[in-house]
Amino acid sequence: MATTKFLLPEDQMPKHWYNIAADLPTPAAPVLHPGTMQPVGPDDLAPLFPMELIGQEVSTEREIAIPEPVREVFRLWRPSPLVRAHRLEKLLGTPAKIYYKYEGVSPAGSHKPNTAVPQAWYNAQAGVKKLSTETGAGQWGSSLAFAGALFGLQVKVFQVRVSYDQKPYRRALMETYGASCVASPSNETNAGRAILAQRADHPGSLGIAISEAVEVAATNDDTKYALGSVLNHVLLHQTIIGQEAMLQLEMAGDDPDVIVGCTGGGSNFAGIAFPFIGQQLRGKGKTKQRRIVAVEPAACPSLTRGRFAYDFGDTAHLTPLTKMHTLGSTFTPPGFHAGGLRYHGMAPMVSHLTDLGLIEPTAYHQNTCFEAGVLFARAEGIVPAPEANHAVKGAIVEALRCKAEGKSDVILFNLCGHGHFDMSAYTAYFSGKLVDQNYDEAELAMALSGLPSVPA
């Protein structure tokens, strides 16, 4: 029997993050100040982030060193395994080779600690005492809570109310790590109070929770803000996934033809894909041309149905404007189970690369993704998070294409987290209660018509 798991020794864990800004054929559009419509400078962002992270946000250096104290924490679970899905291949009867990079081995069960740990560390180094953030289902909130515990930072999480009420277990995880967690919209911020005045039982949204967390950071000197996806420095921190996978595939003697990831804000996808895209960009056509597939939920399809335009990251319009694929900041996606993919926008860098034709976006509804996840669980043992089921679905589609074409492509996908906190979604799937929700076309049109106008 051939090897199943490819494990890197700790001393081969990457010492640098890979910054794709160094290799872009054309730079991404600048971030704009919502008041002046001029590109933001470091000072504009200083109330929210420490200077080291602001520097990473705008850096064009190809390699950025991972601080040793951050690597020390990473050693608790990294390098993460690359697994050859022998049993899934057999079940599908495909000649393709399927590999998955498994990020569910982290303490919080997903890829999110890859950026939570450095964000907490840079903040602690800058003398920050408190971090505020938002979370949907809780993957990001629990990851930042974990990272805060390691570096002595108080973490305050605004959790979207519908998740706060429905998923108490991730909240318990945040509290186990010592963080405090409040339902959003809350009475603790102007943004929250304004929403509650309109509707006392508002279920909340990520856009609202971001507004609350940003407000707390902007109005408290000892508090900074941390975001779990979308921004350049967050995507940068996730590239350790793809860098490790590249080394592990070398150990396996394989080179991927197709790379698949799921996209919500874009960070786990960027993590696995950017190092490979960068290799291609540097090779200028002389290296292997790989297909890079981004799988998003059909109910919140920013890449496949959104507009590539400037928009706000939050509902209360406290954030700068970024050019990205967006469904409009007032768009409220249906309540499907992949909470981590329920965001109106897309990481500007992922949007830019999609616009350049380097990424193939595709969208699936949730039932077919759960079907793929259950097939995977019964073959490989791991129950994927609902978000990760989208990547599983994408990989299975590619494997079945290979079967039909008689091709033995090498498929790599990112299994970004396990579903142990999401079993109620599986229960709903098995009971037939899971509905493939469509977004409201009229609402999308209205949200898009409300995009801010930016001078050319």
| Interacting residues toward a copy of itself by CB under 8 A | 1, 3-5, 7, 9-10, 68, 72-73, 75-77, 83, 87, 105-109, 113, 146, 149-150, 168-173, 175-178, 374, 377-378, 380-383, 420-421, 423-424, 426-427, 430
Q: How far apart are CA 306 and CA 322, in angstroms?
A: 14
**Which is nearer to a copy of itself, 336 or 376 (by Cβ)?**
376
Q: How far is CA 235 from the centre of its chain?
A: 8
- Minimum distance of a copy of itself from residue 72's CB (angstroms): 5
Which is nearer to a copy of itself, 76 or 126 (by Cβ)?
76
* Measured distance CA(307)–CA(310) in Å, rounded: 9
Exposure string for 340-357, b = 16+ CB within 10 A, e = fewer: bbbbbbbbbbbbbbbbee
- Cα-based distances in Å from 310 to 134, 215, 327: 22, 21, 11
Residue closer to a copy of itself, measured from CB, 157 or 346: 157
Contact (Cβ atoms closer than 8 angstroms) between residue 66 and residue 240: yes
Of 95 and 178, CB closest to a copy of itself? 178
CA distance 124 to 119: 9
Complex with a copy of itself: residue 87 or 291, whichever CB lies closer: 87
Can you tell me the distance from the alpha carbon of 94 to that of 349, in angstroms, rounded to the nearest whole number? 33
Backbone φ, ψ for residue 184 (5° rounding): -115, 135
Question: With respect to a copy of itself, which residue has the nearer C-beta, 101 or 323?
Answer: 101
Burial class (CB in 10 A: 0-12, 13-18, 19+), 87: middle
Whether 89 contacts 400, CB under 8 Å? no
When the beta carbons of 194 and 375 are compared against a copy of itself, the nearer one is 375
DSSP for residue 23: G
Q: Smallest gap, in angstroms, from Cβ of residue 377 to a copy of itself?
A: 5
Contact 369, 337 (CB under 8 A): no
How far CA 365 is from CA of 34, 166, 239, in Å, comes to 34, 22, 27
CB of 86 to a copy of itself, least distance (A): 8
Whole-number minimum distance, CB 374 to a copy of itself, in Å?
6
CB of 373 to a copy of itself, least distance (A): 8
Chain-centroid distance of CA 433 in Å reads 27
- In the bound state with a copy of itself, the residue whose beta carbon lies nearer, of 276 and 421, is 421
- Using CA atoms, how far apart are residues 445 and 55, in angstroms rounded to an integer? 36
Structure tokens at 92: 């599908």
| Nearest distance in Å: CB 175, a copy of itself | 5
Which residue lies nearer to a copy of itself by CB, 170 or 393? 170
How far is residue 157 CA from its own chain's centroid?
A: 17
Residue matched to tokens 């493939």 = 436
Nearest distance from residue 420's CB to a copy of itself, in Å? Answer: 4
CB of 209 to a copy of itself, least distance (A): 21
Query: Least separation, in Å, of the C-beta of 265 and a copy of itself?
Result: 23
**Does residue 324 sit in helix, strand or coil?**
strand
CB of 223 to a copy of itself, least distance (A): 21
Cβ nearer to a copy of itself, comparing 48 with 383: 383
